[in-house]
Structures are given as structure tokens and as C-alpha cells.
Structure 1
Amino acid sequence: MLFYNEISSKCIAYFPAIETITPEIESCLQKADVLMVDGTFWSDEELVVMGATERNAKKMGHLPISGPSGIMEQLTSFSAERKILIHINNSNPILRKDSKEAYALEQHGFEIAYEGMELEV
């Protein structure tokens, strides 16, 4: 979903849950100045490894951040001014600021949303 600011002529792409990046979603993401996308799980097997469930991220309707065809790999080359991960599960290691996963995101130009975060577009 795209939200336009008619005054600044900029827009935000908002996708809190992405099962797959369809051509329609990709088109929205390519047009946006700011991406706010699903960061629910770092890996496809995150909760399975923890023993919390037998369903992986994809079976729950979430494209994981890491791995082949994950959010990070697919969106790194997009030209948006900001790429912000939202809807983050409490099991996700990116929530630990000193984790290698948070560092990898930073190196690829991604931000992690936080409570009270404000954007101006």
C-alpha cells in the first residue's frame, strides 16, 4: 500500500506482512521514498528452532528477513531513502542492538522500527 504526501510529492510503501514479493508489491516498493516492510522473523525456521511451533515463517505468511530471497536480499538494491523493518516478533534477534543480525541489517541500509518512531515525508 502506498501513501502519498501531496505537498512533498514523496510516498511511503507500507507492508507489515509480506508472504512473497509479488510484481504488484515490487512496483509499490520501487516507487516509494520510504519502505516500511515486514520484519517479523529473521529466519524462516526461527520459531521452529526455538521449539515454539512447527510452522515456519513462510507458513505463517511472513517472508523472513535473511536467507535466499529474503527481505534483505530482495530490497537491498532498492533506491528508497529509508528502508525500515516493522512488525517485528519478540523472538527476532535484530531486536538485540549488539547482534550480528542487527549489524548485517545496518550494513545493508535497513533500519529497525521502534516504539514512538516518527517519520516526516
Structure 2
Amino acid sequence: MNSIYVLVLGTAQDGGFPQVGCFKKCCKYIDKPRLVSSIAIVNKENNSCWLIDVTPDFKQQIELIKSFLSINFMPKINGIFLTHAHIGHYIGLVNLGTEVLNVKNVPVYAMPRMKFFLENNAPFSFLIKSNNIIVNKIVDGYLELLDSVFIKSFLVPHRNELSETVGYNIKSKYKSVIYIPDIDDWKLWENDILNVVRDNNIIFIDGTFYSSNELGHRDILKIPHPIITDSMKIFSVLDKKDAKKIFFTHLNHTNPILNKNSKERQFVLSEGYNILNDNQVFEI
């Protein structure tokens, strides 16, 4: 029996869902709250995990892991892989310090600018000095997590004010998973997203916004993400078997596909795509 799983810890954009300060219908009449986007690679054999991103919802997400493992103690965090330096993706590191868990020597993997950012800004630099975390530069190629399970990072174009942005490929003997919660535009990426979908088994991708007009007073061009409707146009050439590999995640609180009764949600599903859910489990 396989003991390695990908557990979805959150599927909302950095502000979560509902989002603080929003009093519109999208956050007032919600079906179910969502935690900030993150996934875990979980080893059921020894109750341990690797995290991709550590979010403001770290506490609740550890509870999801405990529930999945059916344990009442803290799972071992074997390592943390960061995508970039936007707040929803790294701020949960503060829970590893003296005030909360006070762990020792947890490996954190980051690109060079992200590593520099952590090393030169408190409170993260204090975590390093206190040996709560050890920040490692992400290596080229695949890093072996355990026997026949590997992870590899790849650069993606995004607003890189403070760090690079990466996605991840998790590969086992049986499955290959792609995780890209943030990207500016598929056309700006050096890789062909269609080939990426065809060549892998499970695809978690940026679905932040459904349309370009959902933010109202804010200029969406200043916070670029691929619009779901535009992504679907690109993916329309895929076979049905490939389309069903795709799961939209990192959903902004304004995104109408969060509403289970919306026509937008029904359209996405009717076209053969998936909307990722918190606590969803994938055996790899």
C-alpha cells in the first residue's frame, strides 16, 4: 500500500476566504471558508510531512495534517519549500520560533533572493540565528525526499519585488504533480503549459481571478494573474483526459467560482476542469 500523499492545505489567495475588510456578497454569503494556498507531501508511514509554503493559516493547516494522519501530536516537518515572498506564502514561518513551536533545524528551501530576504529581515533572520530553521538554496534538478519521491523547482514569471517565484514538480514512481499557485501569464513562461499538462498527472495552477472585471476599483494589471477564462481558452485544445488533470487554486475572495451555485463555477466544471478544495487528498 502506498503511504505518500499530497494533502491540500489551502486554496485561497494570500488574504484567505473570506478576506478581512470585505463586506460584499462574495465574503458575506459563503459556502465554506478556505485557507491560504499551500500543499503538503505527507508520509503516513512515519507521520511526517514536507510543506510547500507556510501561510498565515499555519495553525489550522497543521490540524488538517494531524486529522489526515489520525494523530493527536505534532507531525514532524521534514522540510519546507517556498515559492516566493508574497505574504501568504512564507509568513507562517514565524510559528517555528521561540514564541510558538520552537523547533530546531527545520530545513527551508528557497531561491537565492528569497534566501537573502529571510537572512536579512527580522523576524526570519532571528529564526535562523536561533537555529529554528536552516535556509538552503534550492538546488538544480530533483531533490530526493525519500525513496523514489523527488521534488524540483522551476522559475515562473511573477511580480518579483522581493524574491524570485517558483513552482514545483513532485514526482514519485507512480505520479507527477505540478504546483503553480502564482504566475503572471502563461505566455510569458518559457515552458509551454500545454506540454506541462500533457506530460504530468496532476496540475494545480493559478486560478486567482475568473475575469478581469471582478476587482472593481483596483487595476488588475497591477496584480497580474492568468484569468481563468483566458486559461480555459488556452487549454481548449487539450484532450478531455488532459483537461481533467487541471485543478484551479489560489482563488481570490472575489472569484465567483467559490460560490457553489454560480454559473461561472458550473461553466468551469462543465468544461472538464476541476476546482481544488481544502483538505483534498491525492495519492502519489
Q: Same fold (TM over 0.5)?
A: yes
Residue of structure 1 equivalent to 2:211 = 43
What's 1:3 paired with?
170
Q: Does 2:249 match 1:89?
A: no
Matches within 5 A, 1:55-70: 55-56=219-220, 58-66=221-229, 70=230
Q: 1:118 offset after TM fit, Å?
A: 1.3
In the alignment, the residues of structure 2 paired with residue 119 and residue 80 of structure 1 have an alpha-carbon distance, to the nearest angstrom, of: 17
Quote the Cα distance in structure 2 between the aligned partners of 1:81 and 1:92: 20
Please, what TM-score do these two structures have when normalized by structure 2? 0.36
CA contact (8 A) 2:197 2:246 kept: no
C-alpha deviation, 1:29, in angstroms: 2.9
SS at match of 1:17: coil
- Out of 170, 173, 198, which is 1:30 matched to? 198
120 and 77 in structure 1: CA distance in 2 versus 1, 3 angstrom threshold: farther
Contact in 2 for aligned 1:17/1:61 (Cα 8 Å): no
Over the aligned positions, Cα root-mean-square deviation in angstroms equals 1.8
Identity %: 26
The residue type paired with residue 16 of structure 1 is: P
The 1:116/1:39 distance shift into structure 2, 3 A limit, reads same
In structure 1, the partner of 2:270 is 107
Q: What corresponds to 1:16 in structure 2?
A: 181
Q: Which has the larger radius of gyration?
A: 2
Query: Whose relative contact order is higher, 1 or 2, with alpha carbons under 8 Å and at least 6 apart?
Result: 1
Paired AA for residue 257 in structure 2: I
| Paired position in structure 2 for 1:74 | 234
Q: When the two structures are aligned, how many residues end up with a matched partner?
A: 111
Measure how far apart 1:23 and its partner are. 4.0
Change (3 A) 1:89 1:37: same
Q: State the Cα distance separating 1:59 from its structure 2 match.
A: 2.9
TM superposition score normalised by structure 1: 0.80
AA in 1 matched with 2:231: I
Moved more, 71-80 or 10-19: 71-80
Conserved? CA contact 1:41–1:89, under 8 Å:
yes
> What is the CA–CA distance in structure 2 between the aligned matches of 1:81 and 1:63, rounded to whole Å?
19
